[in-house]
């Protein structure tokens, strides 16, 4: 792909690529949800999952804040 190609010729390549990536993303998300649904049946497991997700988000925010000040 080069910058001198027309918009239409670039779209013919990029549109199916993005659609395929979106389908793959949705399939992986559905597979992960199906696997986790079997494991998160107890309240304790759901609580641990929630705490882990929260810790990941706080860590990501901390890393982002560190990147801005550097």
Predicted confidence (pLDDT) at residue 1 exceeds the cutoff of 90: no
**Which residue range is the domain that position 63 belongs to?**
41-70
Cβ(1)–Cβ(10) below 8 Å: yes
CA distances for 33 relative to 38, 65, 69, angstroms:
9, 30, 36
Verify that 34 and 1 share a domain, yes or no.
Answer: yes
pLDDT digit string (tens) for 28-53?
999 999 998 988 899 999 999 999 99
pTM of the predicted protein model: 0.57
pLDDT at site 9:
87
Verify that 22 and 50 share a domain, yes or no.
Answer: no
Verify that 35 and 1 share a domain, yes or no.
Answer: yes
Measured distance CA(19)–CA(27) in Å, rounded:
12
pLDDT at site 31:
96
Verify that 45 and 68 share a domain, yes or no.
Answer: yes
- Tell me what percent of the residues of the chain surpass a pLDDT of 90: 67
Verify that 6 and 22 share a domain, yes or no.
Answer: yes
Verify that 1 and 34 share a domain, yes or no.
Answer: yes
If one counts the domains in the chain, the total is 2
Report helix, strand and coil shares of the chain as percent, to nearest 5. 85, 0, 15
């Amino acid at each position: 792909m080069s910058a001198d190609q027309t918009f239409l010729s670039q779209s013919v390549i990029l549109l199916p690529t993005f659609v395929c990536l979106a389908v793959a993303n949705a399939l992986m998300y559905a597979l992960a949800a199906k696997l986790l649904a079997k494991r998160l049946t107890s309240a304790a497991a759901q609580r641990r999952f929630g705490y882990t997700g929260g810790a990941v988000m706080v860590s990501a925010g901390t890393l982002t804040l560190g990147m801005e000040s550097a």
